[in-house]
Amino acid sequence: PAPPQGDPGPRRGLAVSKLLLSPAEEQKRLLENRPDQPQNPKVLRVAIIGAPNAGKSTLSNQLLGRKVFPVSKKVHTTRCKAQGVITHGDTQLIILDTPGLTNPLKAKRHNLEEAMLTDPWDSMKHADLVLVLVDVSDHWTRNSLSKEVLKCLSQFPHIPSVLVLNKVDILKKKFLLLEIATDLTEGIVNGKKLEVKSTLKQDSRSSAKPPFHITQASPPESKVPESPFGQEKNQAQEGSGLDKSSGVGGAGTGEAQGPKHHEPEDLKDAKGWPHFREIFMLAALRGEEVDTLKKYLLMQAKPGPWEFHSEVLTNQTPQEVCDNIIREKVLEYLPLEVPYGVTQVTEIWEEGECGELLIMQSLLVPRESHKRMLIGRGGKVISRIAQEAGQDLMNTFLCDVRLKLKVEVKG
């Protein structure tokens, strides 16, 4: 019989092991090992797409319960597709965190790799469900999906999609959420027209909940988590703990046919996508309503073999996680376009006598002026980057980390 499976509880670091292996060795062992399959495994591959800086990596980290993907206020912090793994009971969610959808002109301006243009598309090809993340705090972009996102959705109309409105806590005028949701869905969710019900009772504890109900005309029966601004709860959901969703109720599974493939000319004047199954409203940075989305994703999983061992949190190597965390800090503390020209080279990666991880990395910059900025007056900037990155690495690997950073001009 298969070994019993369950939620592993507080996550281990990427490389904590009963065999006392180093972080790199343990992660390699787990990735190479065959998954510890339960009796009736279920799996769901979820692609998260959206415009740069919409909060995709922040949401991924919150779903995982551990910082695995780099996050900063600058665009294009995520430079390649990476996978996070959530194992809960007999279900495994594979989160495909992707670079923000961009175009060749912007990619050239930020010195972005070719993978930045192709990785989101590759992730869509392997996804069972796609989350489209929109930053509702950006009043310039929140009322229409970017052309890149619309193009991506139109190329894969057979993949179920869910709209996630993020940073709801920052939006002071919550009534604008109705307008935003209507624009981004063209007034249609799950094949039904959106309707509005006002509500006097509102849970003031959560800033992610809007002061109105969004419902659907003649909604199909379903067992998905219901919304506090959605339809009345089904009896099956009473007391289930799933009735706090910020989703629009009713992901129908019995539709005769899915959305048709859209040609580029069809999207020229389009602002929204009328084929979303659900809408969720949340505040990823604060973790509000993220658990509701996670429960919904777990319910959407289908029978299928696990791809990873239950102890795996990401498919990235420890070195890749380290690179990402350091780059995050460089992006955070350097101005404008400067950090996009930094190249990272790991010089030392070894385990010390007391089990601590020793890392030395060189940061190569194209100009002497960039070197001065990165070091900072009295070495304050580079010291702060090393201190904060080192702390994040300790939280991730759950072991002591000694990190040293050098700054050099590219030869």
* Digit-coded pLDDT (tens) for 13-54: 554 333 346 666 777 778 777 888 999 999 999 999 888 788
Question: What does the pLDDT read at residue 351?
Answer: 84
Distance CA 49, CA 120 (A): 7
Report DSSP state, residue 339: G
DSSP 190-214: TTEEEEEEE-S---TT-TTS-SEEE
DSSP 27-48: HHHHHHSPP---SS-EEEEEEE
Q: Where in the chain is the domain with CATH 3.40.50.300?
A: 33-197+266-303
Compute the CA torsion angle 409, 378, 337, 166 (nearest 10 deg): 130
In 158-290, DSSP assigns E strands to 161-166, 188-189, 192-198, 212-216, 276-281
Q: Is 378 exposed, middle or buried (0-12, 13-18, 19+ CB in 10 A)?
A: exposed
Q: How many CB atoms lie within 10 A of CB 105?
A: 7
Question: What does the pLDDT read at residue 50?
Answer: 86
Domain over 33-197+266-303 is classified CATH 2.60.40.10: no
Give buried/exposed letters for 157-188 (b at 16+ CB in 10 A, else e).
eebbbbbbbbbbbebeebeebbebbbebbbeb
Per-residue model confidence as pLDDT tens for the chain (411 residues): 444 444 444 444 554 333 346 666 777 778 777 888 999 999 999 999 888 788 888 999 899 988 788 776 555 444 456 789 999 999 999 998 766 454 444 444 444 444 433 444 667 888 999 999 999 999 999 999 988 889 889 999 999 999 999 999 999 888 899 999 999 999 999 999 987 655 444 555 666 766 555 555 444 444 444 443 343 333 323 322 333 334 433 333 334 345 665 555 566 678 999 999 999 999 999 999 999 999 999 999 999 999 999 988 888 888 888 998 998 898 888 876 676 788 899 999 998 888 889 999 999 999 999 999 999 999 999 999 999 999 999 888 888 999 999 999 987
Report DSSP state, residue 130: E
Pairing outcome for strands 129-135 and 161-166:
parallel
Angle at alpha carbon of residue 249, lines to 243 and 254, rounded to 5°: 125
Bridge partners (DSSP) of residue 42 are 91, 303
Question: What does the pLDDT read at residue 288?
Answer: 92
Average per-residue pLDDT in the chain?
76
Q: Is 303 exposed, middle or buried (0-12, 13-18, 19+ CB in 10 A)?
A: exposed
Pairing outcome for strands 357-365 and 401-409:
parallel
Question: What does the pLDDT read at residue 383?
Answer: 96
Q: Enter the pTM of the model.
A: 0.74
Terminal CA-to-CA distance of the chain, rounded, Å? 59
Q: Where in the chain is the domain with CATH 3.30.300.20?
A: 318-409
Question: What does the pLDDT read at residue 293?
Answer: 96
**Cβ(157)–Cβ(258) below 8 Å:** yes
CATH architecture of 318-409: 2-Layer Sandwich (3.30)
* Digit-coded pLDDT (tens) for 194-213: 876 554 445 556 667 665 55
Question: What does the pLDDT read at residue 261?
Answer: 57
* Digit-coded pLDDT (tens) for 248-286: 333 333 343 456 655 555 666 789 999 999 999 999 999
Question: What does the pLDDT read at residue 241?
Answer: 31
Give buried/exposed letters for 203-238 (b at 16+ CB in 10 A, else e).
eeebbbbbebbbbbeebeebebbbbbbbbebeeebe
